Chain A
C-alpha cells in the first residue's frame, strides 16, 4: 500500500517537472496551436535575420467574398483545413494550395432577426479522431470525414429560432471528445458548453454556465433570472491532458447593462459562473473550480477569451499556471491545478470602470451603469482586446497582446427578458480613449511579473490574432491590409506585406518537407467589432475579402 502511494507520488512529481510544451512544429493541430493556446511555433527557419526576405508562396481565395476569413487554419500532415465565413470547408495541400476536397454547408435555417443568428462568421474547424468538425450559424455541430470531406455526422446543439444563439467559435478537441461553446451573450439565453463523442457524435455532457435550481451557485441569481442570465462561452477553451481538465472563459451576464433582475448587489448576487474562468473535468463536464473575474458584470466584460496554459516559476516555485485576459483588460494568473489566484495586472492604458483592483483580484470603486444615467467608462464593451487572440512565447516568456484603447458611454434600460430575443438593455456609443491619438498598441507583457516590456502603437483597431515563433518573431495583421513581423524581444517592425484587404484573421506557422510557411487569413468584416472600428474611422475604407495568404522564404535562400 505504502509502496504504491510512493510510486504515485513519484509519478506526480515527475509529471510536474516536465514543463508543458505548447509549441507547434510541422503541424498546427489546434485552434490555439496546441490545446494550451500559445499560438507559438517552434520553427525558426524564418527569423529576425532573414524575415525581410519573406514572400508569398501561394494564395487561396475561398470565393466566399462578402465577408471575412476569420478562421484559424489547421494543418495536419501537410494538409490544411480551412473554413470560410459561410462554412465552406477546404482541405488544401499545405505546400501548394491545391484543393484536395471541398465541402459546402447548405443554406442555414434562418434564425430570429436581431440576434446572433445574423452574424456571418466562422472562427475555425477542429481536427481530431479522423474528423474535421465545425459549428454553424444555425447551431449545428458537423463532423466531416478528414480524408474525403464527406459528412459523417451532424447534431443540433440548439435551435437558433428559440435561443437566439449560434455557433461561431472553433470547437476544442479534448481526448475522444469535441467541445463547443456558443454565441448568445446579448440574448435572453442561458449559456453552456456541450461535449460530443468524436467517433459518433453522441452527447457526452453539457455544462450550463448558470447553475439550475438546487445546484451550487444558483443562489447567486435573483429569482428566475438564471434562466436567461447569459454567460455564453463563445470562444474556444484549452485542455490539459495531464490534468484531464478543460479550461474555458465564460461570457458576460445578461442583460449586459442592467442588473436589476439578476443582481443589484455584486457581493450577494455575483451571478456565477458568468465572466469567469472555469476548470471542468474533461470526461464528465463537472466543475472542478472557478474564478470569477467580474462579479455582477455590468459593462459587457466577457471572460470568453483564450486561456493560456503554461508552466512557470512563480515566487521561486515551479507552478502549473494559466494566464487569462478579461475584456476589461484585467489579466489574471491562476494556479491551474487548484484555481489559486497568483496575480493580476491591467493591460490597457485607459481604465475608468473601476478605481482599482486589490492584489488578490477584488474590484474596487466600480462605476456601475444605472438606468436614467449615462456612465462613461473605459475600456468599452469592445474590450481592451477583442476576440482576436494573444500569443505566448516560451522563448521570451512574454504574452503578445493586441490592445485596444476605446471608451463607451453606457445608457441603460430596464426592459424584461424574452427568451431568445435581444437582451442588452442599453446603448453604448464608442469613442477612442481621450488623449490617445492611436487606438491600439501591441504589447509584450511578462505574465509572472505583470510588467509591460515593450509597446508599439497603431492608429486604428487591431483585430487580428497574434502569432509568435522561435525565430524571435511576432506576426499579426491590420485593417489597412498589412501583415507584418515584429522582433519579439523589442517590438521593432522588421517586415510588412500588403495583403490587399483588411486583416481580421489569425496567422499560423507550419512546415512541409522542411520548408517553413507562415499563413494569414485576410478580409475585413463589418460585423460587430469590425463595424465599430469602421464607424470610428469613417474616412477609412477597409476592404472585405476572403483570402488566405501563405508566405515562405524563397527556396534558394532558406
Chain B
C-alpha cells in the first residue's frame, strides 16, 4: 500500500461535513477507510487477497457488495459493518470496492448525502465521557459495571436517574445490593434471578463483579448489604466525577 498522504486523512476526517463531493473524493475516502479497516490481517491492499479473499476484479455488483458489507458473511470472519462505522464511511468504502470491480459510476449514496451533524461532545462532557470509559483505571472505571451508548458491561441496570452533583453520586444508596452467604462466606450481591433450583447474582466483593450461579440450597439471602457505590468509584476524584455528570446531562439533553 502506498503511503496515504496526510491531506487524504484530513479529507477523510472532513468528509462527513461536506454537503456534496465528487466521485473522485468519495473514492479517495473509500480507499482510506478500506486501508484502515479492511487491510492488515484480512484483505490485501487495493483489493488484493490477504488472509481474506481478493476483492478486485471479481465482477461483484454494487448491491452484492452493499449486502456483504452491511450484513457480513455468516460463519466467516467477515463481520457486518452495520455499527462502529459511519454511514458515510460505509458508503464510501462500498463505492471504492465497486470501483475495484470495474464499476465506473458507482452509486455514492450516503457518502454524498448531507449527514446530520451529530452532537459533537466538547469540553467537560467529552472529558467526562473519556473518564467514564478510562481504560487506564483497569476495573476501577465506571464502565466495568455500567453500559452507556452500547459500550461498557451491563452489570447494573441502565442509569435512569442522574445524581444532582458529585456528593449525591458519592452518597448513592444501593438498596438492591443484598448480603448473601455461600459456603459460609458473606458477600454483597446484586441478585438477577431467584428460582427454585438456583440463584443467579453478581458477587460485588471485588471488581469486576462475578456473575455466579449457585444452587438455591447452597445460598442464604440476607438483608441489605453494607456495600456502597462509593467504594466502586474510589479511583475517581471529585474533579473527575463532575465532568462525568456533565456528560450524562449533555447526552440526556441530546436524546430528549
- The residues of A with any CB-CB pair to B shorter than 8 Å are 65-67, 110-114, 117-120, 150-157, 159, 161-163, 186, 190, 200-203, 206, 208, 212, 227, 256, 371-372, 411-415, 419, 421-422, 424, 426-430, 526-532, 535, 538
Contacts and interface: CB of A to CB of B under 8 A. Distances in A.
Contacts of A157: 208
10 contacts: A119-B77, A153-B210, A154-B211, A155-B209, A159-B152, A422-B40, A427-B39, A527-B77, A531-B42, A532-B51
Given A114-B38, A411-B1, A422-B36, A156 B208 contact: yes
A227 B133 CA distance: 13
Best-buried of A111, A119, A202 by chain B (most CB within 10 Å): A202
A526 B139 CA distance: 34
B76 A526 contact: yes
A162 B36 CA distance: 17
Nearest to A421: B36
A206 to B, nearest CB: 6
A65 B74 CA distance: 12
A118 B39 CA distance: 14
Contacts of B54: 535
Interface string B27-57: 0000000011111111011001111111000
B168 interface: no
B6 to A, nearest CB: 8
Given A113-B79, A162-B133, A427-B1, A411 B207 contact: no
Contacts of A535: 49-51, 53-54
B75 interface: yes
B39 A151 contact: no
A427 B44 contact: yes
Given A156-B208, A413-B3, A118 B49 contact: no
Contact of B78 (A118, A203, A419): A118
A531 B41 CA distance: 9
Interface string B119-141: 00000000000000101101100
Q: Which of B35, B139, B208 has the most CB of A within 10 A?
A: B208
Given A120-B75, A413-B35, 12 more contacts: A66-B74, A153-B211, A155-B211, A186-B40, A200-B212, A411-B1, A411-B3, A422-B36, A429-B44, A430-B50, A535-B49, A535-B53
A348 B203 CA distance: 50
B44 A159 contact: no
Contacts of B37: 113-114, 422
Contact of B207 (A203, A419, A529): A203
B48 A429 contact: yes
Contact of A66 (B75, B85, B150): B75
Given A153-B213, A161-B151, A426 B1 contact: yes
B206 interface: yes
A538 B37 CA distance: 24
Contacts of B80: 113
B1 A200 contact: no
Nearest to A192: B138
Contacts of B155: 156
B153 interface: yes
A227 B144 CA distance: 18
Contact of A118 (B77, B150, B153): B77
A201 B83 contact: no
B1 A371 contact: no
Contact of A200 (B3, B41, B210): B210
B4 interface: yes
B210 A227 contact: no
Contacts of A208: 138
Given A154-B211, A422-B40, A427-B40, A203 B84 contact: no
A529 B41 CA distance: 8
Contact of A110 (B1, B42, B83, B203): B83
Contact of A206 (B136, B138, B213): B138
Given A119-B77, A206-B138, A153 B212 contact: yes
A161 B149 CA distance: 11
Most chain B CB within a 10 A radius of its CB, from A113, A208, A212, A412 = A113
B145 to A, nearest CB: 9
A371 B136 CA distance: 30
Contact of B136 (A67, A150, A162, A212): A212
Nearest to B149: A161
A529 B77 contact: no
Given A161-B151, A413-B3, A427-B1, A527 B51 contact: yes
Interface string B59-83: 0000000000000101111111101
B50 A532 contact: yes
A429 B84 CA distance: 26
A421 B38 CA distance: 11
